[in-house]
Amino acid sequence: MSTAAPITIDTARPGVPLGRLIKVELRKMFNTRSGFWLMLSIAIVAAIATVAIIIFADGDDLSFGLFAQGIGIPMAIVLPVIAILSVTSEWSQRTGLITFTLVPHRGSIIAAKAIAAIIVGIAGMLIAYAIGALGNIGGSAIAGVDPVWDTSLVNLVTIILANVLGLLIGFTLGVLIRNSAGAIVGYFVYSFVIPSILGFLAFSQDWFEKLQPWIDFNDATLPLFDGGPSGEEWAQIGTSGLIWLVIPMTFGIWAVLKSEVK
């Protein structure tokens, strides 16, 4: 009676490189109709904000800083949603089983998704800045004033950093909840409900007022929009970021690595 030949597995064969996984994740973010329009919404939202500033702002108040601030507000909402969907699509569209079968190293997949989301976020902010610069030139010409370039390169970098941190909060919620609607609702709770509660607590309790920036990540990151944090403010970003970003993301990644994919 013949026996089947034993199956040998080539354990020395290298896995899929991280760079290739990042390219795949970037392609997945653009190759659907909804994904394409979500990416395009970055430029659309920036253009709408720029036009609104030109129409409603006083000509004497026009400056590149005003356009950067006006564009940064909607970007703080759009970019985290993009990060959330980059993660939750594997579960909401039930493609996770295929993805994690083709590449069983789940940590590499999550890392590729995070890097791809950051790349999109930074590229989106640069595009938004370019639109804002054109708006500053065009708006100043319409108002008959000289363009004002009052935002330094350092400030632009810190604004990008603030938006990337917000994007990573969205990514963290996507990893934790793994449901698109739930993660988006969770992000709006984090962005609007929790800061209101903590702000009221700081207003009504003197002991909490000085403690707030050390535990409120939203409050701690505000100096990134205002010219750059001081040394103490960087420490506050790090401490509150540990609470709201590092620990939840670590737990979320651990849950993804251990959970059953269906």
In a domain, 243, yes or no: yes
Q: Does 8 score more than 60 pLDDT?
A: no
In tens, the pLDDT along 166-184 reads 999 999 999 999 888 999 9
* Both structure tokens of 142: 């319409």
In tens, the pLDDT along 201-246 reads 988 888 888 899 899 999 899 888 877 788 899 999 999 999 999 9
Q: Does 247 score more than 90 pLDDT?
A: yes
Q: Does 33 score more than 80 pLDDT?
A: no
Q: What is the tally of structural domains in the chain?
A: 1
In a domain, 4, yes or no: no
Query: How high is the pLDDT of residue 7?
Result: 52
Q: Cα angle at 104 between 102 and 105, to 5 degrees? A: 130
In a domain, 196, yes or no: yes
Query: How high is the pLDDT of residue 9?
Result: 47
In a domain, 198, yes or no: yes
In a domain, 179, yes or no: yes
Q: Burial level of 235, CB count in 10 A (0-12/13-18/19+)? A: middle
User: Quick one: average pLDDT of 69-83?
Assistant: 85
User: Quick one: average pLDDT of 112-126?
Assistant: 90
Q: Does 1 score more than 50 pLDDT?
A: no
In a domain, 252, yes or no: yes
In a domain, 1, yes or no: no
Query: How high is the pLDDT of residue 62?
Result: 85
User: Quick one: average pLDDT of 36-46?
Assistant: 82
In a domain, 13, yes or no: no
| Core vs surface per residue 33-58: b (16+ CB within 10 A) or e | eebeebbebbeebbbebbeebbeebe
Average pLDDT of every residue of the chain: 85
The domain in which residue 95 lies consists of 18-258
